[in-house]
Structure 1
Amino acid sequence: MWLLILVLIAVCFIFYVKEARLKVVSSPALAYFKRALPQLSQTEREAMEAGDTWWDASLFSGKPNWSQWLQTGKPALSDHERDFIEHELNELMAMLDENQICAQGDLPPEVWQFLKEKGFFAFIIPEKFGGKAFSAQANSAIVAQIATRSLSAAVTVMVPNSLGPAELLLHFGTPEQQQTWLPKLANGSALPCFALTSLEAGSDAGGITDFAVVCKQEFEGEMTLGLKVTWHKRYITLAPVASVLGLAFKVYDPDQLISEATELGITCALIPTDHPGVEVGARHDPMGLAFMNGTTQGQGVFIPMHWVIGEMDGIGKGWRMLVSCLSAGRGISLPALSAGTAQLSAKASTAYCRVRRQFKQSLWRFEGVQVALARIAGLSYSIEATRQNTAMAIDLNKSPAVITAIAKYHLTEMARVAINDAMDLHGGKAIQRGPLNYLALHYQGMPISITVEGANILTRNLMIFGQGATRCHPYVLKEMAAAQEQDADMALQQFDKVLMQHLAHSGKTFLKASFNGLTRGVFSSAPVAGEVARYYKTLTWYSQILAVQSDLAMLVLGGKLKLQEMRSARLGDMLSQLYLASCVLKKFEDDGRQCSDLPLLHYVMQFHLSAFERAFTGFIDNFAPTGLKTIAKRWFMPFGGAVDGPSDRLITALCESLYCNKLTLARVSNLCDTSGHAGLAALEQAFQLFPKCEQCLHKFECWQKAHQAKLLVLNTDEQLAMAVAECVLDEEERELLVEWFQVSRKALSVDESV
């Protein structure tokens, strides 16, 4: 049946005639389509309608326009944004000591005051309200740089600048609400939090049990129309210190005071935390980090209707508000934290693997170490490329829910791999907590990024392809609209037209994918020449494979695909790898096609392409009938995939590039400033000194090996003096090595408990 469906798609295309609609096909197809339509809850439908598409739709179509992709603009910062980073941000970085912050359980008072006074909570607020009006690119870059030093401070800064009262007010608040709150949020006199998650409702926001009843009650001496709200929220960042609470709840109107309906839907409101009845509960302890997180609750708390975001017009529109803002925030905050963690891992691991020596050579010379080191560098490069391009989409006024879900899931997972590898490479140094340890708290805090703003299991299995299949497909959304048309004749007419276009598209894509499988995509077009062109061609071929597999999955499974999470997740993985690889190619072009970046580019592209191939193979193995699995794989990849993953030679070349080319290291660690962290600064000093003394260190070590017996009772200074006496070293070399041993020992030292 599976292969027969492929043939039918091609046949329908061959016999498709633009002017002659095949109603004999479309009428039963419409009936099937209505039966097969996935059943969407109201919250799912609103989430689907709130976002939009961007480059993901082009990848999903099977015909990505690479020239258009490369011309979408380069990530850039304004002069005002760069000035803020060079001054206010650098001043903040010098104030942050994450070990001290976590030991005290809070940011120091002077840091809180600095954040408020300098506008760190006002990035997204327009200048007319006293805000910074920064781009998403600047917002992301600032949070990422803070994250290299202090996750506690980064989370504190990111929350008011992503999903929160300011974002909701800007898009949905009335002018009066904006005038009331935005200046206070901008100058820090009002500190916000937003409460969505409750005990019963986490991923299923539609299951919120927090509720409000429309009523009239005396407020400030007058009978006022409003809501009596009951809630109990948890995991709310900044709740313990917030002065204004953004709150999501369901509204009911049993007396029909404002509507003929009783259930009015999810609604958002702003409530001052000093309002009678508002309770700030116990504080949580998020993995030992010091950012404020806790609970809030209230029982029958009356609020006037003008505290609802959007006032009366905002009743029942809260979920649409949240998902439209959440997709933007998800594309800024979590990628920024991931970039900070990955770049810290790259910066520290590269330096440590040169400074740390075993068996008379630096760690990075060992091939096993090179595997982990190359992976850290490659993932950091990919994360930065995706962070920049996803933020750019938001700056282009897009709200691409699928792309931001891809960025959230994959970048946090890649950062988790990077920090794990960094911990392995540092060995014992990484597990001794204290001021000299620059990795432990980031490792400790990694599960937070994995969990928040949509847990990763949910994001991968339900959101990426679950939304992508409908939002990004060029025809499915139109077919769904036609199937829901009440007028039968109109429905058939609309569906007939879209169905024929869909079949034509599917047939063409199937033939192109089959041809590119035979030719390995060599005849596809590419916007550039040279050795990089093959990646564009391969991605076009793989995009066509995804389009065909998606059509087949939706045709065979229909609405059941929503429940086939493992299968849909693999299709989502295929789309994700295409997007991540696209961002890498664009970054390479935006950075000026530097030859020094080629080892990085080749490593990352082969990493993502091989991940696509594994997802494709896994999908076929778990979707196609047993007898057709091999045929299906051979049909689209008759000679296998385009790559087998990064080769050993490429891994070694990338590691050599990290140490021989400063630009390569800068690409994967430019956001990480080492000056303010005692342990990292000492490591960087040793890293910079090593090239100057490497040659004389080698001479000294060879001499030590030859005279091992007589040197056993001598300390290092005595051995250096003997080496000078025997003319192995001159006095200048001895002084250099004295400095090296002093600096390197400091860099490799760990904290000790008293």
Structure 2
Amino acid sequence: MTFELSPEHEAFRAVVREFAEAEIAPHAADWDERHHFPVETVQAMGKLGLFGLPVPEEYGGSGGDFTSLCVAIEEIGRVDQSLGLTLEAAVGLGIGPILSWGTQEQKQRWLPDLAAGAALAGFGLTEAESGSDAAATKTRAVVADDHWVVNGSKQFITNSGTPITSLVTVTARTGDLPDGSPEISAIIVPSGTPGFVVEPAYRKLGWHASDTHPLTFTDARVPVDHLLGRRGEGIKQFLAILDHGRIALAALSVGLAQGCLDAALDYAKSRTSFGKPIGANQGVAFQIADLQVSVEAGRLLTYKAAAAKDAGRPAAEVKRAAAMAKLFASEAAVSAARTATQVFGGYGFMEEYPVARFYRDAKILEIGEGTSEIQRLVIARDLGLPVR
């Protein structure tokens, strides 16, 4: 039994950390202030091979494991949550559905550019009245003249309106099942499709350098071969993708918590008060000690879940591990941001220090990819509790 990543994973971590500290960290505050999506840096991440980590070589990737992706997300998120989220969503939510259920033609058409970071893809699931209740989608798609005609809207869609976005995969109601419940399917809608409109970007509390838009579809027509997987299995597909995405978001949360720990520790050693470093005071030292514990616990849960996925463990086991990792790591990240801000005192309220940005970025981690309440529901049901 081991609780350490392999030497290969740690060597990869060092490469990504060097890139993050040299190419991202010096610019993160500026990008955040200007709400700027740094296309050239995203493409540089692609040249480093980050977007193609879990993609087979035949489609332009490196054929790596999911654990490597989590390492990359953690290290990017340690200095900039927006770009960490860009990577997480691009691979887990953008590439994942096509890699898992795409036809050979779909994979060969879309995956090489996505794996190279030359293009990004969005994941259109959430709607105004369809968040945690994904089956309540109101977007519809009907077949007419060998095309799907899509009408509806989506919201909070990451990587959907960048200059290099190539497609969005959306769930849509394509009919009704015999029991009267909706038949939900997944359909690939390329960027630039007439009737597909990317609405103006949101004004967000955090993740300012990440691309997030509402989308509308008005008689948007795509060929029938743009159906992803089997008709009627859209919700099943997307919920499976969310299980994997929750592990990746847990890694992003660990990155934020580690960034907060690093900043608080450095500040506690260098900031003096009453003639000594503030870290000499138990009130500060104990907060940082607790922060170290929560970072390590979140990391262990996250990489345990990633290892379960890489080992091909049963879906129920991966779902449980993903829910526990995402729940603990995201809540630990929010606490870490609060603790680090407190350690910095008044300076923690100033945008010149990264803890202020982390504080704004942290809260969404408890919401995206399924709220903390949904994670607790998944865990409770796995324990056999008849909770609804």
Q: TM-score scaled by structure 1? A: 0.48
**Cα pair 1:196 1:248 within 8 Å, conserved:** yes
**Cα pair 1:286 1:448 within 8 Å, conserved:** no
1:319 aligns with 2:238: no
Pick one of 377, 383, 386 that aligns with 1:469: 383
**Could you say if the C-alpha distance between residues 108 and 320 of structure 1 is closer, same or farther in structure 2, counting changes exceeding 3 Å?**
closer
Identity percentage over the alignment?
25
Structure 2 match to 1:248: 171
1:267 aligns with 2:185: yes
Alignment of 1:133-148 (within 5 A): 133-148=63-78
1:345 aligns with 2:263: no
Shift of 1:186: 1.7
Structure 2 match to 1:365: 280
Shift of 1:170: 2.0
**Cα pair 2:92 2:245 within 8 Å, conserved:** yes
- Supply the AA of the counterpart residue of 1:91: F
Structure 2 match to 1:228: 149
Shift of 1:117: 3.2
1:238 aligns with 2:159: yes
1:132 aligns with 2:62: yes
Shift of 1:263: 6.5
CA offset digits 1:398-452 (Å, max 9, x no partner): 3411221111111111121122111111101211212xx1211011111111110
Aligned with 1:243: secondary structure?
Answer: strand
In 2, Cα distance between equivalents of 1:116 and 1:411 = 26
For structure 2, the 5+ residue unaligned runs are none
Pick one of 375, 392, 395 that aligns with 2:290: 375
**Cα pair 1:240 1:295 within 8 Å, conserved:** no
**Cα pair 1:75 1:389 within 8 Å, conserved:** no
**Cα pair 1:251 1:265 within 8 Å, conserved:** yes
Shift of 1:304: 2.0
Structure 1 match to 2:119: 190
Shift of 1:107: 3.4
Shift of 1:342: 1.5
Alignment of 1:26-105 (within 5 A): 70=1, 75-76=5-6, 78=8, 85-87=13-15, 90-96=18-24, 97-105=27-35
Structure 1 match to 2:223: 304
1:111 aligns with 2:29: no
**Cα pair 1:77 1:137 within 8 Å, conserved:** no
Shift of 1:305: 1.7
CA offset digits 1:213-254 (Å, max 9, x no partner): 2x332xxxxxx2x3221120010001111221111111127x
Pick one of 107, 118, 123 that aligns with 2:53: 123
Aligned with 1:252: secondary structure?
Answer: strand
Alignment of 1:602-617 (within 5 A): none
Structure 1 match to 2:362: 446
**Cα pair 1:212 1:228 within 8 Å, conserved:** yes
In 2, Cα distance between equivalents of 1:119 and 1:152 = 18
Shift of 1:463: 2.0
Structure 1 match to 2:203: 285
Shift of 1:307: 0.2
**Cα pair 1:252 1:262 within 8 Å, conserved:** no
Shift of 1:184: 2.4
1:457 aligns with 2:373: yes
Alignment of 1:627-642 (within 5 A): none
Structure 1 match to 2:387: 562
CA offset digits 1:586-630 (Å, max 9, x no partner): xxxxxxxxxxxxxxxxxxxxxxxxxxxxxxxxxxxxxxxxxxxxx
In 1, Cα distance between equivalents of 2:104 and 2:312 = 21
**Could you say if the C-alpha distance between residues 261 and 457 of structure 1 is closer, same or farther in structure 2, counting changes exceeding 3 Å?**
closer
Shift of 1:85: 4.5
In 2, Cα distance between equivalents of 1:412 and 1:261 = 38
- Supply the AA of the counterpart residue of 2:327: Y
Structure 2 match to 1:160: 90
Shift of 1:84: 5.2
**Cα pair 1:75 1:392 within 8 Å, conserved:** no
Aligned with 2:61: secondary structure?
Answer: coil
Alignment of 1:437-586 (within 5 A): 437-460=353-376, 462-466=377-381, 468-470=382-384, 561-563=386-388
Aligned with 1:297: secondary structure?
Answer: strand
Shift of 1:370: 2.9
**Cα pair 2:16 2:72 within 8 Å, conserved:** no
Structure 1 match to 2:336: 418
Pick one of 386, 391, 396 that aligns with 2:311: 396
1:170 aligns with 2:99: yes
In 2, Cα distance between equivalents of 1:360 and 1:83 = 41
- Supply the AA of the counterpart residue of 2:140: F
In 2, Cα distance between equivalents of 1:459 and 1:271 = 30
- Aligned residue pairs, count: 380
Structure with greater strand share of residues: 2
Shift of 1:133: 2.1
CA offset digits 1:705-735 (Å, max 9, x no partner): xxxxxxxxxxxxxxxxxxxxxxxxxxxxxxx
Alignment of 1:11-30 (within 5 A): none
Structure 2 match to 1:514: none
Aligned with 1:231: secondary structure?
Answer: strand
In 2, Cα distance between equivalents of 1:370 and 1:189 = 45
**Cα pair 1:169 1:178 within 8 Å, conserved:** yes
CA offset digits 1:77-109 (Å, max 9, x no partner): 63xx66655446523431212111112222334
Aligned with 2:172: secondary structure?
Answer: strand
**Could you say if the C-alpha distance between residues 413 and 261 of structure 1 is closer, same or farther in structure 2, counting changes exceeding 3 Å?**
closer
Shift of 1:121: 2.1
In 2, Cα distance between equivalents of 1:353 and 1:189 = 41
For structure 1, the 5+ residue unaligned runs are 1-69, 218-223, 254-258, 471-553, 555-560, 564-754
Aligned with 1:160: secondary structure?
Answer: helix
Aligned with 1:270: secondary structure?
Answer: strand
**Cα pair 2:304 2:321 within 8 Å, conserved:** no
In 1, Cα distance between equivalents of 2:17 and 2:260 = 21
Q: Which stretch of structure 1 is more off in the superposition, 418-427 or 111-120? A: 111-120
Aligned with 1:562: secondary structure?
Answer: coil
**Could you say if the C-alpha distance between residues 304 and 362 of structure 1 is closer, same or farther in structure 2, counting changes exceeding 3 Å?**
same
In 2, Cα distance between equivalents of 1:85 and 1:322 = 29
In 2, Cα distance between equivalents of 1:384 and 1:262 = 43
**Could you say if the C-alpha distance between residues 416 and 264 of structure 1 is closer, same or farther in structure 2, counting changes exceeding 3 Å?**
closer
Shift of 1:316: 0.2
**Could you say if the C-alpha distance between residues 122 and 423 of structure 1 is closer, same or farther in structure 2, counting changes exceeding 3 Å?**
same
**Could you say if the C-alpha distance between residues 82 and 74 of structure 1 is closer, same or farther in structure 2, counting changes exceeding 3 Å?**
closer
1:211 aligns with 2:36: no
**Cα pair 1:264 1:315 within 8 Å, conserved:** no
- Supply the AA of the counterpart residue of 1:247: V
Shift of 1:140: 0.7
In 2, Cα distance between equivalents of 1:216 and 1:91 = 49
